[in-house]
Structure 1
Amino acid sequence: MSLRPTLETRRATPTMEGAGVKLHRAFGFQDPSELDPFLLFDDFRNERPQDFEKGFPWHPHRGIETITYVLEGTVEHSDSLGNTGNLGAGDVQWMTAGSGIMHQEMPRGNAKGQMHGFQLWGNLPSSQKMTAPRYQDVTSADIPEIIEDDGTRVRVITGDFWGKTGPVDGIAADPQYLDVTVPAGVKKTFPVDTYRRAFAYVFQGAGAFADASAPSGVLLEKEVAGQELNIRDLSGDRTLIRFGTGDEVTVQAGPEGMRFLLISGAPIDEPVAWHGPIVMNTRAELERAFAELRNGTFIAPAH
């Protein structure tokens, strides 16, 4: 087994999207090859309704998939195909935009006015960019959860992991999307397919990820020697960890435990032409998409 090196650790940055939703962006609109097949990751978490209630009004997508995972509150959604619905706490929506869709997403807080969720954009290969749009809505109850003897918990949203298979299927990048909780002081190793790009996103507590570039992972050596990890060594809330090549990730949870997403997918390795919510392979395809938006032919007629 080979430990994946930590290529980069960085904090998500505050930004604003939609009609004024305050959120934190871990990556997006930079180098699309960094985490290919993933393009963008947003953490929308607010305690005040005025920071999110205007939502994400009608907007287009083409050539990508959007993955929305709600932890607190609800998200009301509707689209140009006539679909409507609500995503509640623990629910997931995997939308394949394909040839084109117009939709809107309106966050609604819980009883305390709090809202928390994530949105990940996955690229589509050229062969699937113009497929028919589709949705997979998955309720929290349908997401399998693994509970280990040491208290580690893993929700398997998509992919195969420790004998469980996530309910979302038929995704171009064949991704693995895990919601992982590691109790305080526990050291844990998670397998990740060697041929996938992978990242972790910490959103509760803190922990240290072992780095293959340091002998045996210097931070974890401290734990083995019975020393306390320095809190400054830990990756905390709203931290992205980008991994290099290998087939496992090892983490040591800090004094409050930690919760993070562990996401990986097979690279597409194709040219990317990207503007806003539309991602194609060439500039000509991108210009055609915006021309169709202007002349009203962006949405393919239903068959």
Structure 2
Amino acid sequence: MKVIKQLNSHATQDGDGVNISRIPGFDGKHLDPFLMIDELKSDDHSDFMGGFPAHPHRGIETFTYIIKGGFEHQDQMGNKKAIRAGDVQWMSTGFGVIHSEMPLADAIEGMHGFQIWLNMPSTEKLRPPKYQDTTEHPAPEHKNSQGAVLKALAGSWQFDQQEQVSSLQELAANGMLADVTVPAGAEFTHPPLSQTKVMIYIHSGSINTDQGGPVMAGSLLILEPGSDIKFNSQTGAGVLILAGNPLNEPIAHMGPFVMNTQAQLRETISDYQSGKFGTF
């Protein structure tokens, strides 16, 4: 496995005072087609109980994955779903979405999850929004002989000569995501993916690669295009694998909106203020 860059998350806040760790990519330099990786990981309710009250989006796809705890999603399209441990939610905002994500009252054992933003191609930014989750079709997973588990969160994965096909198949930029759990002393290997941007985010424990280690939780490794995926862990680890094809398009970003030009951002704000996104 060839790592060409390592980035580290930093602490910040979003929503109503929710404490998160973030790796931003709005400059388009390293994460394209991804825009942001947010991790919420805390057993202190004060870090997340404010949640994310109603707010708009345009031009992006939001991908939410819950490892522990849960949120209730609600949007102006009429969707209202409880997203709990193991669940995935995908929202392709297109022309515009207004939604909220609030902690579930019965999520009493803390929270660990992700919201990941994926950019949309310029030709799709104004199409109607879409929503899908895995509450009725859970993400499939496979365990190999060493005890390593791959859970297919989005896309189709070939692991240990077994195909794992997620019900989420239409992410922008051929996006795919998987959660991999490796027990202490085990190794994970996966053949090269077809996407040219492949990244590994360590969310639990630490891993070792051919280039050294340990690489600690909160680190993002960007792989050379065409590289295989291979690492081991002496402590046990959990990692996300993110893959997609870079869009190589201009990024104009303002808060929850991501377009290609400043003029498009001004039009977006006008559309939202005039009620064209709908009523929450």
* TM-score normalized by the length of structure 2: 0.92
- Bigger mean CA offset, 195-204 vs 83-92: 195-204
Q: Where do 5+ consecutive residues of structure 1 fail to align?
A: 212-218, 220-232
Q: Where do 5+ consecutive residues of structure 2 fail to align?
A: none
Aligned length: 275
**Which structure is larger by alpha-carbon Rg, 1 or 2?**
1
2:139 to 121, 140, 143: 143
Q: CA deviation at 1:244?
A: 2.3
1:296 to 236, 261, 275: 275
2:22 to 21, 25, 48: 25
User: Structure 2 CA distance, aligned partners of 1:192 and 1:99?
Assistant: 34
Aligned partner letter, 1:119: Q
What is residue 91 of structure 1 aligned with on the other side? 87
What is residue 154 of structure 2 aligned with on the other side? 158
- C-alpha deviations, 1:119-148, integer Å up to 9, x for none? 100011011111111111112862111110
Higher strand share: 2
What is residue 40 of structure 1 aligned with on the other side? 36
Q: CA deviation at 1:118?
A: 0.3
Q: CA deviation at 1:294?
A: 2.4
User: Structure 2 CA distance, aligned partners of 1:149 and 1:106?
Assistant: 39
Aligned partner letter, 1:297: K
User: Structure 2 CA distance, aligned partners of 1:108 and 1:278?
Assistant: 26
What is residue 82 of structure 1 aligned with on the other side? 78
Given that 2:70 and 2:107 are in contact with CA atoms closer than 8 Å, whether structure 1 keeps it comes out as no
User: Structure 1 CA distance, aligned partners of 2:247 and 2:195?
Assistant: 11
1:269-288 to 2 correspondence within 5 Å?
269-288=248-267
What is residue 244 of structure 1 aligned with on the other side? 224
User: Structure 1 CA distance, aligned partners of 2:137 and 2:271?
Assistant: 40
User: Structure 2 CA distance, aligned partners of 1:279 and 1:18?
Assistant: 17
Matched residue of 1:293: which SS?
Answer: helix
User: Structure 1 CA distance, aligned partners of 2:33 and 2:209?
Assistant: 23
* TM-score normalized by the length of structure 1: 0.85
1:1-303 to 2 correspondence within 5 Å?
3=1, 5-29=2-26, 31-108=27-104, 112-139=108-135, 142-162=138-158, 163-211=163-211, 219=212, 233-254=213-234, 256-299=235-278
Aligned partner letter, 1:273: A
Q: CA deviation at 1:169?
A: 1.4
User: Structure 1 CA distance, aligned partners of 2:33 and 2:140?
Assistant: 24
